Amino acid sequence: MRYQRDFRSDLEALGRVLVQSSSNRQVALPELATIRMANGPAMLRDQDGLLTGYVFVDVGGRSSADYVAQARRELHNKLQIPAGYAVLWSGQYESAERVRQRLLLVVPARS
């Protein structure tokens, strides 16, 4: 649980927070958990209701499509993604893919 900054900066005040138990008894938070300060993300991000982490990449002089193709191969060969996790490619790559898909409809390839 994460309280507002003003409240969470006072560990003593957090120790006085009462939590309703399943037996309708109020229990002080320190009886349920250890209260301590810890560094964490400045903000929790989500996309479609799922917690999300972002990795920003500068592809240098390469095209984003070439970078993503190689990165996909590397991830496939070297990483097992647990159930419930997903890797999505976004940003300029995603925009370029949408444009490419539209152009395939507008300008069909000649054989």
- Round to whole Å and give the CA distance between 46 and 10: 28
Tell me the per-residue pLDDT of 7-21, one tens digit each, with 9 for 90 and over: 778 888 888 889 888
pTM for the complete prediction? 0.49
Looking at per-residue confidence, does 62 or 41 come out higher? 62
Q: How many CB atoms lie within 10 A of CB 45?
A: 11
Q: Where are the domains of the chain?
A: 1-40, 46-106
Q: What are the helix (H) ranges across 1-111?
A: 5-8, 11-15, 64-78, 92-106
Give the pLDDT of residue 13.
86
Q: What percentage of residues in the chain have a pLDDT greater than 70?
A: 93
